[in-house]
Amino acid sequence: MLDKEKANKQKYPEAEPKVIRVQELPSAEYMAIKQRYKENVQRVEELEEKCRMLEDALKYGEITTLSRMIMEYQAMSVSYLEHISKEMQIYRYSYEERQQGMEFIKYLRQVASELEGLLWPGGVNA
C-alpha cells in the first residue's frame, strides 16, 4: 500500500497543495499596470485596423497600383541615371562636377534598389 501511495505522489506532483502568498500591489505600480494594459489594448486595436486596411487594399487592388507606381518610379530613376552617365561621358566636366554627378548616380542606384526591396521584400530571388 505504501508503494502505491509513493507511486501516485511521483506521478502527480502538481496535485500536492501549494502555498500562495497574496501581496497587495502599491497603488502607483497598479496604476502603471493599468496604463500599460490600456496602451496594449489600443495598440492591438490599431494593428487590427491596419490589417483590415491592408486586407481591403488587397481586395480592391490598391497594392498592385502601388507596386506599379513604384516600378514606374524605379524605371524613371534608372533611365535618368543612364542619361546622366551618358552626359558625363560626352561632356568634359570639372572634377567637382563629376564627383557630384557620381554621388547623384550612387543615390539614384540606392533609390532604385530600395524600390526593388519594396516590391520584392527579401530580394528578387526570394
CA–CA distance, 32 with 87 (Å, rounded to integer)? 63
Ordered by start, the domain boundaries in the chain are 27-60, 74-126
pTM, 2 dp: 0.32
CA–CA distance, 85 with 77 (Å, rounded to integer)? 12
* Buried-state track 48-78, b at ≥16 Cβ within 10 A, e below 16: eeeeeeeeeeeeeeeeeeeeeeeeeebeebe
In the chain, count H helices and then E strands: 4, 0
Q: 8-66 pLDDT, tens per residue?
A: 555 656 666 676 676 676 788 778 878 888 888 888 888 888 777 777 766 766 666 76
CA–CA distance, 39 with 33 (Å, rounded to integer)? 10
Q: Which of 41-45, 78-82, 109-113 has the lowest mean pLDDT?
A: 78-82
